[in-house]
Structure 1
Amino acid sequence: MSFDSVCKFIAETFTADLATWLLGEPVELARLEPSELLSSPIYADSLVLLESKELVLQIEFQVEPKAEIPFRMTDYAVRGFRRFPNKRVRQVVIYLRRSQSPLVYQTIFERDGIRHEFEVIRIWEVPASQFQELPGLLPFAVLAQTGDRERTLRQVSERIETIGDRGQRGDVAASAAILAGLVLDKGLIRSVLREDVMKESVIYQEIVSTAAERGRREGEQSLVLRQLKHRFGVLSSKLQQQVDMLSLSSLEELGEALLDFSSEADLAAWLQGHR
């Protein structure tokens, strides 16, 4: 799971906590699907859309700065104004990892008479104390402004232990562990944040499930490639690349189909039909 996807999960799970931080009050917000705003939601992985009766809040989490962000936010805004003409549209880009790039300071898009402004938060400039009161904000504390990240992580761990709901406690712990990986050693993170707590989290379970599926895919891919090499020798780089891109289910199908292949041409034809 990517860092911005974890942030998206946090924002959609702890909307009141996020609203308290960004809006100054726990405004009741509901999640919007990207399709509500974007006809082709090509930015959906890092985009969070939340709405209240008066407001549409657009949040973009980014690990690395990108030159296209100003235009992207302008695009969001125009679509938001069209879809929700009676609501304010507030936009915030949140950069997660410290960067010296001037791109993280860009808050304006200007071109051909068009000018649009949006907010930017460089999380490493925000005091860590702002993230240590509400459960949904705890995962961001280690990325924030602090003189001792390890000490801050331990404080976060202690605060997590006080969360009564087991599922929520696990979600916060797992999210904190993933985001801390941006700035701290994984061994240290594992020694501070309890794995038995994280196991209660849907994020943790998704990570474990993804890792298991990746392992099954790699095993199936290795078996299929060995079988193909045994039958046809070393594959061409083009065929090798196409096999490498197959999903687990397609690899399993290929493992059965290749028993009937008599030449590389049969493999090429099969791959062409399973793009």
Structure 2
Amino acid sequence: MSFDNVCKFLAEQYPQVFVKWLLDSEETSIKLLKTELNVNPIHADSVLFLRVGKRILHLEFQTEPKSKPPLPLRMLDYYVRLKRKYNYPITQVIIFLQQSNSEVVFKEQYEDENTIHKYRIIRLWEEEATSFLSEPILYPFAVLAKTESPQQILEEVATKVNDIEEKELQSDLMTSVSILAGLKLDKNLIQSLLKEEIMRSSVIYQEIKKQGKIEGKLEGKIEGKIEGKIEGKIEGKVEEAFNLILKISNQYLGEIEEILANKIKNLSLEKMEELTVALFEFDCLEDLELCLEYNT
């Protein structure tokens, strides 16, 4: 589970906390919208849609500013789709987790010849760390926020999490803190302050273990079946990669029709390898179709 997916997990499990933080709203009528609008390319960062009363909150967590299509255009695309589908006011927020000097991180609108579309960006490293210490669900963001001593903040967060009585919440938060702190602090320091035995019952922790096993098996298959032992036999590698994709899709998503199969055949070997891993994150063939729209 990637850094941004950890954030998405927290927002899905505790949406009221994020609505309060980002919209300054006490609205309790909150519904998680499914990903029928999901047109993310392979390995895109996490996207979340919440219906908050009669408003849509489109929330994204980003580790890196690089995106295909570029983030500003993607925000416009999502806005139009959401507006057409729900016709509600829409608030769009991108939260950048890791400090960057990229101009994308500081650009809060899409500009074209006839269009200007605005959205909101939160750069965690500019937010005061102490502002995340009053709400347990937001503890994982404190270490990534502005502070003279990230280690001291991590120590304080670890103490607070240890004092949480609800074991499931404690486990999930400790795992989330451990993962996100890895963007800023040394792994050995994190391990010395956070107890792995508490993390083991966490949904996030279990998902990481599960995903690691899947990716490990896939890596072996890709390395053995796709890369092969003899360099230069690209055509054979592509054929094997294509067959592996068909096999995985048939097992988990459904049978791929000829038109979709032809799009996959036109992918580069590298994209096929990426798609092979990404298939396990899709819920249905529609997710695969939308993904290929941005990669063909």
The alpha-carbon deviation at position 84 of structure 1 amounts to 1.7
Query: Which structure 2 residues correspond to residues 108-187 of structure 1 after superposition, within 5 A?
Result: 108-187=109-188
Partner of 2:4: 4
Partner of 1:74: 76
Query: Which structure 2 residues correspond to residues 242-257 of structure 1 after superposition, within 5 A?
Result: 246=244
Query: Of the two structures, which has the highest relative contact order with CA contacts closer than 8 Å and spacing of 6 or more?
Result: 2
The alpha-carbon deviation at position 45 of structure 1 amounts to 4.6
Q: Which runs of 5+ in 1 are unaligned?
A: 251-274
Query: Which structure 2 residues correspond to residues 84-95 of structure 1 after superposition, within 5 A?
Result: 84-85=86-87, 87-95=88-96
Q: Displaced runs of 4+ in structure 1, greater than 6 A?
A: 220-225
Alignment check: 8 A CA contact 2:27 2:53 kept: no
- Paired AA for residue 206 in structure 1: E
Find the aligned partners of 2:141 and 2:192 in 1 and give their Cα distance.
19
Alignment check: 8 A CA contact 1:17 1:26 kept: no
- Paired AA for residue 64 in structure 2: E
Verify: 1:100 aligned to 2:98, yes or no: no
Two-structure CA RMSD over aligned residues (Å): 2.6
The alpha-carbon deviation at position 235 of structure 1 amounts to 6.8
The alpha-carbon deviation at position 240 of structure 1 amounts to 5.2
Partner of 2:33: 32
Partner of 1:263: none
The alpha-carbon deviation at position 101 of structure 1 amounts to 1.7
Secondary structure of 2:93's counterpart equals strand
Tell me how many residue pairs correspond in the alignment.
240
Partner of 1:272: none
Secondary structure of 1:133's counterpart equals coil
1:146-165 deviation per Cα after TM superposition (whole angstroms, max 9, x unaligned): 11011111111111112222
Find the aligned partners of 2:84 and 2:220 in 1 and give their Cα distance.
49
Find the aligned partners of 1:224 and 1:152 in 2 and give their Cα distance.
46
1:115-153 deviation per Cα after TM superposition (whole angstroms, max 9, x unaligned): 111111111000011111112111111000111011111
Find the aligned partners of 1:111 and 1:80 in 2 and give their Cα distance.
20
The alpha-carbon deviation at position 5 of structure 1 amounts to 1.1
Indicate how the Cα distance of structure 1 residues 151 and 79 shifts in structure 2: closer, same or farther if over 3 A, else same.
Answer: same
Report % sequence identity. Answer: 37
1:202-260 deviation per Cα after TM superposition (whole angstroms, max 9, x unaligned): 110111122233444556678879xx97xxxx57542457657847x87xxxxxxxxxx
- Paired AA for residue 77 in structure 2: D
Alignment check: 8 A CA contact 1:96 1:143 kept: yes
Indicate how the Cα distance of structure 1 residues 61 and 223 shifts in structure 2: closer, same or farther if over 3 A, else same.
Answer: closer
Find the aligned partners of 1:58 and 1:221 in 2 and give their Cα distance.
35
Alignment check: 8 A CA contact 1:17 1:135 kept: no
Alignment check: 8 A CA contact 1:46 1:61 kept: yes
Indicate how the Cα distance of structure 1 residues 243 and 65 shifts in structure 2: closer, same or farther if over 3 A, else same.
Answer: same
Verify: 1:189 aligned to 2:187, yes or no: no
Secondary structure of 2:143's counterpart equals helix
Find the aligned partners of 2:81 and 2:182 in 1 and give their Cα distance.
35
Find the aligned partners of 1:26 and 1:179 in 2 and give their Cα distance.
27
Indicate how the Cα distance of structure 1 residues 154 and 79 shifts in structure 2: closer, same or farther if over 3 A, else same.
Answer: same
1:146-195 deviation per Cα after TM superposition (whole angstroms, max 9, x unaligned): 11011111111111112222111111111111111111111111111110
TM-score (normalizing by structure 2): 0.73
Find the aligned partners of 1:223 and 1:103 in 2 and give their Cα distance.
38
- Paired AA for residue 24 in structure 1: D
- Paired AA for residue 108 in structure 2: T
Find the aligned partners of 1:94 and 1:114 in 2 and give their Cα distance.
23
TM-score (normalizing by structure 1): 0.78
- Paired AA for residue 82 in structure 1: R
Structure with greater Cα Rg: 1
Find the aligned partners of 2:81 and 2:221 in 1 and give their Cα distance.
44
Find the aligned partners of 1:224 and 1:105 in 2 and give their Cα distance.
43
Q: Which runs of 5+ in 2 are unaligned?
A: 249-275, 277-296
Partner of 1:61: 61
Find the aligned partners of 2:225 and 2:47 in 1 and give their Cα distance.
38
Indicate how the Cα distance of structure 1 residues 98 and 45 shifts in structure 2: closer, same or farther if over 3 A, else same.
Answer: closer
Partner of 2:283: none
